[in-house]
Every structure is written in C-alpha cells, then in structure tokens.
C-alpha cells in the first residue's frame, strides 16, 4: 500500500485522463496540429516518435485490453494528422516483434553498423545497395528504397522497395553485406510506397 507521500508524488491517472493524454499524443505528438487555440507543441524527434509507434503497435501483446484499446484508438487518430505514422503503426502491428514459442538458437545478429546505416537511410529517404544471401544460400546484389525495419522473432528485417526486382521485398539484415548509400532521394514517393507495402502485407487491393 502506498503512503500518502507516495500518492502525492505519483498521482493516480484515471482512465479518462489516460484517454485524454493518448488523444493528445495522436493529435499533436506525431507532427499534427491541434484544433484548439494556442501554439502547437513541438513534434517528437524521429527516435522518440518511432519508439512510441512501436509501443502502441505492440500494446495488444501485453495482456491489457484496456491499454490495447487506448493505443489502437490513438493509432487510428493518426490517419488525419500524420499519415506516415499511421502507415508505420499498421506495419509494425503486422510485422514487428511478436511472442515466439521457438526459434533455432545460434543465428547471427544483425551488424550494428548496418543497422545504424539503415536507420539513417530510412530517415533520409536515401537508396541503398548491398549484397544479399537468401535462405537457400543464393547471393544477389540489390539496390533498394529502404522503408522500415521490423523485428520478428527470426531477426531484424528491412522492408523495402527493391529497384532490382521492381517489387516490395523483406531482407534479413544479418544476411546483408557491403551496404552502401546510393545517390537519390525518394521523399516524394515514401508515403505511396508505405501504402503499397501495407496493401501487399494485408492482401488489400491496390
């Protein structure tokens, strides 16, 4: 039982207050503007925004249906204020970390330098090229437009539009080598590519 002093320092957040805060995050925190008068707060930086999106997306796996419903409502609100965040949230719900009963041990980890380069390329909307070894051992060279990183139990994956194959592809980062940045900027295409990727993953018609 908390003491009176502890309760004063850590006030109880009611369900209504929690809903109001989540609604505020959805309306303001991901780059949108509020309808209410007054200056809008600064948008979240890229790292904090992405962490919040992943947290909302995975709320359904935490055994708390009330929190999951609130997170889902917040994600739904993003469609009006930050379409890119809404698309990423849906992709994270579909493809990011999920409970796994079993996966073979001993798989190599993704190289930290490659992960850092990919995070940077995704933010900058910069094409990248690399050599890739698929699960059958076949090696190819790819040039891709990197869209997002997801973290299924099998290992970190890059979601991308593959210019080499003219289609959306997933690549295990641990199987990438010789990663280099390529000239170009696909900022103008990013939203459309994310929408196309989401439609492919959900089986929706283009």
pLDDT digits (tens), the chain, 206 positions: 444 444 444 344 444 443 444 444 444 344 444 444 445 445 668 888 898 898 888 888 777 888 889 988 988 888 888 999 999 999 998 888 765 544 556 678 889 999 999 999 999 999 999 999 998 999 999 999 999 999 888 888 999 999 999 999 999 999 999 999 999 999 999 999 999 999 999 986 54
Give the domain ranges of the chain. Answer: 4-95, 112-202
Predicted pLDDT at 3 = 45
Q: How many CA atoms lie within 13 A of 51 on its CB side?
A: 5
Q: Are strands 139-150 and 157-162 parallel, antiparallel or unpaired?
A: antiparallel
Residue 169: strand pairing partners = 160
CATH number of 112-202: 2.30.30
Using CB atoms within 10 Å of the CB of residue 201, give its burial: 0 to 12 exposed, 13 to 18 middle, 19+ buried. middle
Q: What is the token pair recorded at 74? A: 């917040």
What is d(CA 12, CA 46) in angstroms, rounded to the nearest whole number?
30
Which residue has 């809404």 as its token pair? Answer: 86
Per DSSP, 26 falls in state I
Predicted pLDDT at 80 = 85
What is d(CA 97, CA 35) in angstroms, rounded to the nearest whole number?
34
Predicted pLDDT at 170 = 96
Predicted pLDDT at 100 = 52
What is d(CA 78, CA 86) in angstroms, rounded to the nearest whole number?
5
Predicted pLDDT at 176 = 97
Predicted pLDDT at 158 = 97
What is d(CA 151, CA 57) in angstroms, rounded to the nearest whole number?
12
Q: Is 126 left (phi over 0), alpha (psi -120 to 50) or beta?
A: beta
What is d(CA 17, CA 22) in angstroms, rounded to the nearest whole number?
9
């Amino acid at each position: 039982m908390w003491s009176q002093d502890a309760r004063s320092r850590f006030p109880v957040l009611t369900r209504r207050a929690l809903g109001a805060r989540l609604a505020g995050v959805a309306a303001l925190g991901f780059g949108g503007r509020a309808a209410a008068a007054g200056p809008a707060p600064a948008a979240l930086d890229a790292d904090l925004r992405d962490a919040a999106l992943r947290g909302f997306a995975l709320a359904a796996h935490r055994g708390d249906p009330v929190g999951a419903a609130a997170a889902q409502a917040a994600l739904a609100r993003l469609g009006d204020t930050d379409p890119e965040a809404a698309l990423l949230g849906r992709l994270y719900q579909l493809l990011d970390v999920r409970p796994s009963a079993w996966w073979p041990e001993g798989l190599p980890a993704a190289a930290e330098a490659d992960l850092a380069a990919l995070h940077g390329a995704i933010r900058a909307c910069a094409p990248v090229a690399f050599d890739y070894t698929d699960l059958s051992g076949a090696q190819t060279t790819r040039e891709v437009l990197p869209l997002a990183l997801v973290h299924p139990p099998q290992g970190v994956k890059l979601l991308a539009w593959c210019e080499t194959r003219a289609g959306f592809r997933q690549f295990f980062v641990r199987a990438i080598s010789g990663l280099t940045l390529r000239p170009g900027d696909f900022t103008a295409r990013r939203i459309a590519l994310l929408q196309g990727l989401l439609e492919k993953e959900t089986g929706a018609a283009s």
